[in-house]
Structure 1
């Protein structure tokens, strides 16, 4: 009799666990794109299903749905409806999907076209739609051959080229401009180093640093740059990160053929959330197994902390860093000539970081940003006669450092259909 009760309890628990694992959560918020004001009561629906909900007084929403892939649509009267496609919902971590909506343009009831030969026609295009391209995190993750690398996915966009190194490097060439003529912004903070094993004076490298799980969207502009993004000659890349899960601490581990990544997110307090990740490659171990003379290895770290000071003010802290090592080893089949050539090559030791704070304050019909940041890139080359890294055998050493401290302020107003931006940077 006792055995039957035990079996019944076990089956009941297993059924509950299976049911719980078949459900996932989609949550996020709706905001006005131009003023950053919350949208209430906006409606969020899953296309092709009966699931829908409305935002609360803070512009937030939450849906508990079966695991699967959905198209999430945001609707609010007077605003252009938005759809985010192929949102994957799993039972492990909540899927954060935010929307920034634009006001519907005024519609004319009637337009009359007339010809006046005494006047000349002048075409004015303040913003060229064809010069702006945008990628979501799902598009980056699902891109064939992208390998969860933002730079590689961007190289597949129309009008974007790569360097002569092909797949070996992440150099981005826009309209014939050099790779170092692109400017990258992460949540309003300029990041000069975006790749591992980056060539000094360029922006490309062998592998991207950014964790795709952090990214909400990437916006590429190849002309008509926004006034607040200075020093751009070829293009600007504005990378927006999402906030951490505001309900609970969660995480995931992704292990691939060449690297492993740990990502954690959650709430620190009622008004503070965080995202953090660390990645380590094991290319040196794999190359050793197949007896190659090169031994590349890298680490990278990334975090974002968001604190809501009050209803109108938000403080964000971000950080991004990497450590790169490139050494050589003697293989089993190495000839004396091969050993000599290998030892004549310098070892590469690089590390870099970017850290900063961004304070966003809502004002009437707009918002202000105050950003301070510091970035540093350390590049060191070492060469030894024996190849054993013995100081007495050193024949070459080069250490180069680039350090920048930056401040930027901008104010953005949206008045009667006109967008006005002004600011200073140093």
Structure 2
């Protein structure tokens, strides 16, 4: 009680000491291609008449602003009007923003001051969404986890499993790629599923993120190896004036962020987080005890106006233990303890991005290294007293060294980008496991060491016609590697793409895109061995998909956008499981590993549907994001017949809204509705065999009935309340986030456990060859309130 009284007095004292609006915003306007400073540019804070004019060095300063999230508009004759990314300003420290402006191809009579926050590029006039930092910070139900914020956007499946799988427009969870300041990052989630995109909690710290560009199609040619999604995360620069500190206490972790200048030309920002879930889950008597740690940094040096170098880093350490001290565990606890292994995982990405600017072009060189280490051990019934009880011993590492060069040019109204990349990969895997197929036990015992070289060439060119009303763009990629003779010819992976956008009126535009995209199967599949042989080497091909996208866009106001898109995706050469007789497109949204099995590149699939999205982003703090997706997703079974995939949700609805109130208050809500997903029932006849059950400690799916069942619909309401105190020397923030407000219970796969007698002995049938099994309903969902605190000074 005394603690709550102290906190209340502190809040009331802070309220009484609030100062007048004294926030300061500094910035610089530069030419997008040459990086030269732009003097005499008009800049205003979006939604206000407050502004300034840049000096000879392109710098500006605006004083006396109201603290909060703002954008800045810049306008200059002969250039496209520009709008900055969102930035938070406060009384405690001056904030800094950089704005890049591009030349116009055609002469115009007057400068257009208003500019929309909803971005569209020549290469990607469709299927591109930009997510600002305010939305990431205050998204209801997301707890500043970027992977969960993404689930509010059109085409992204929001599953009731509370995982961060990235499933877009009916594609599988392994079909997306992620870039951090231009550096490819293989993993963005803790406890990642190796060979896919999912995990439990996002690694990226929102303190360092400036904005996110999300592509669900129309991928730029310099972003390869993706079938369904590309995510570009842009980080903030460190404060150039003085040191800053920010501490946060969130739903599952405590974090600290420090940034500031290292010299006149160099800034840095670094953060570290550690979870306290292990202590919380122990107190709640949950059967698993996870602990995660992560670190993220950025160091940027501007040598001069024409040369700059950025170093970035991202790393995570994850550990999962089993809570074997639970007395008299219930059925759910028994089931989880029998299924989950102990797991240790760590990953990191280090990258350097060098940019050199010329008058009409700039060159980018990206060098990076990423590594993932994943180990898992499981003993039958968690009995480690005998080596014979070990049913899983898994150790794997993936290391990638990447080099990418790009040359961006502007020539006589044409925008062009050409480049190349080369990757050196080392993959190792030591697996000891027994698997049960068709009544037989298969010994999986191999030690792989795979060295791989991948390379690619790409180019894209764009131009505006008819006084900027028509924009056309065309590009290509070619990728290859030395894994096998079937993959070493880049012409077999020729990936063309084309986009067009026509402005029907100032408010309406018609947008089109078509492209063919390729993705290399997971390293777990390339490196799988039997009898010391790469069994998939002669059968594997690059996975390919053809995209056809068309849409209408309506912008009745600068801060309002309505879009309608139709899409069709045709897949070829998807890996097909030889033993399970299903496409791997149906796998991957679970913990563990995907792809470590014998496959053939023979599966075909298709996904099609339509998306509607309405967005309002008012400078006064009112925001609305409504998305609705109709989607069908189908892949072939072993007979070549198309059946619904595991991601055939039929419809996805997400409505997120927030409003900034007086005195630093903000409220927000998010409602999600997802059609029931297909699922595969258990093969209880196979599972009851003692010889089969003892190999996994759990039941087996009946793939002869693949996705023949369907869960009920899933829906959930999340709400959030924020309160910010912008004081003279610090900023204090508090939030209350409540997930699943009305306690919806989502349907999930039943739990299957072994029957026991009064003494705890397992019951058997058929002369002791089978266990007696029992199915238990397993609804999921609970009201989950979270209180968060942030301090910045």
TM-score bucket (shorter structure): 0.7 to 0.9
Contact 2:85 / 2:211 at 8 angstroms: preserved in 1?
no
Gaps of 5+ in 1: 1-17, 110-124
The corresponding residue for 2:14 is: none
1:158 aligns with 2:165: no
**Aligned runs of 1:13-412 on 2, under 5 Å?**
23-47=22-46, 51-69=50-68, 70-83=70-83, 87-104=87-104, 106=106, 127-162=123-158, 165-335=159-329, 342=337, 345-383=340-378, 395=390, 396-412=392-408
TM-score of the superposed pair, with normalisation by structure 1 = 0.83
Q: Deviations over 1:20-63 (max 9, x none)?
A: 78533323322334444433232322246564223344433333
Q: Deviations over 1:98-139 (max 9, x none)?
A: 323333452689xxxxxxxxxxxxxxx964522221112122
**1:380, CA displacement in angstroms?**
0.6
Using the TM superposition, name which of 147-156 and 273-282 deviates more: 147-156
Higher helix share: 1
Query: Which of 391, 411, 417 is the aligned partner of 1:415?
Result: 411
**1:288, CA displacement in angstroms?**
1.5
Contact 2:34 / 2:306 at 8 angstroms: preserved in 1?
no
Q: Deviations over 1:194-218 (max 9, x none)?
A: 1111100001111111112222221
The 2-side partners of 1:249 and 1:394 are apart by 55
The 2-side partners of 1:286 and 1:27 are apart by 43
**1:315, CA displacement in angstroms?**
0.7
The 2-side partners of 1:200 and 1:371 are apart by 25
The 2-side partners of 1:133 and 1:345 are apart by 37
The 2-side partners of 1:390 and 1:407 are apart by 48
**1:336, CA displacement in angstroms?**
9.5
TM-score of the superposed pair, with normalisation by structure 2 = 0.46
The 2-side partners of 1:93 and 1:261 are apart by 20
Contact 1:31 / 1:37 at 8 angstroms: preserved in 2?
yes
Q: Deviations over 1:218-242 (max 9, x none)?
A: 1122333222222222232222212
Contact 1:36 / 1:366 at 8 angstroms: preserved in 2?
no
**1:416, CA displacement in angstroms?**
2.2
Contact 1:35 / 1:414 at 8 angstroms: preserved in 2?
no
Task: Classify the secondary structure of the residue corresponding to 1:160.
Answer: coil
Task: Classify the secondary structure of the residue corresponding to 1:342.
Answer: helix
Flag the structure with more relative contact order, 1 or 2, with Cα contacts below 8 A and sequence separation at least 6.
2
Using the TM superposition, name which of 343-352 and 185-194 deviates more: 343-352
The 2-side partners of 1:413 and 1:37 are apart by 15
Distance 1:136 1:335, change over 3 A: closer
The 1-side partners of 2:20 and 2:384 are apart by 52
Distance 1:361 1:108, change over 3 A: closer
Distance 1:31 1:145, change over 3 A: farther
Distance 1:342 1:160, change over 3 A: closer
Task: Classify the secondary structure of the residue corresponding to 2:129.
Answer: strand
Q: Deviations over 1:317-339 (max 9, x none)?
A: 00000011111113554249866
The 2-side partners of 1:224 and 1:327 are apart by 42
The corresponding residue for 2:420 is: 424
Contact 1:24 / 1:65 at 8 angstroms: preserved in 2?
yes
Using the TM superposition, name which of 373-382 and 143-152 deviates more: 143-152
Distance 1:374 1:64, change over 3 A: same
Task: Classify the secondary structure of the residue corresponding to 1:174.
Answer: coil
Distance 1:296 1:92, change over 3 A: farther
The corresponding residue for 1:6 is: none
Contact 1:382 / 1:394 at 8 angstroms: preserved in 2?
no
Gaps of 5+ in 2: 1-16, 110-120, 423-793
Contact 1:346 / 1:382 at 8 angstroms: preserved in 2?
yes
Larger Rg: 2
Task: Classify the secondary structure of the residue corresponding to 2:282.
Answer: helix
The 1-side partners of 2:363 and 2:80 are apart by 24
Contact 1:246 / 1:273 at 8 angstroms: preserved in 2?
yes
Task: Classify the secondary structure of the residue corresponding to 1:177.
Answer: coil
Task: Classify the secondary structure of the residue corresponding to 1:176.
Answer: coil
Contact 1:131 / 1:222 at 8 angstroms: preserved in 2?
yes
**1:373, CA displacement in angstroms?**
0.5
Q: Deviations over 1:137-162 (max 9, x none)?
A: 12222322222122211221112224
Contact 1:384 / 1:394 at 8 angstroms: preserved in 2?
yes
Contact 2:287 / 2:336 at 8 angstroms: preserved in 1?
no
Contact 2:269 / 2:299 at 8 angstroms: preserved in 1?
yes
Higher strand share: 2
Distance 1:389 1:414, change over 3 A: farther
The 2-side partners of 1:149 and 1:345 are apart by 24
The 2-side partners of 1:391 and 1:330 are apart by 17
RMSD: 3.1
Aligned pairs, number: 394
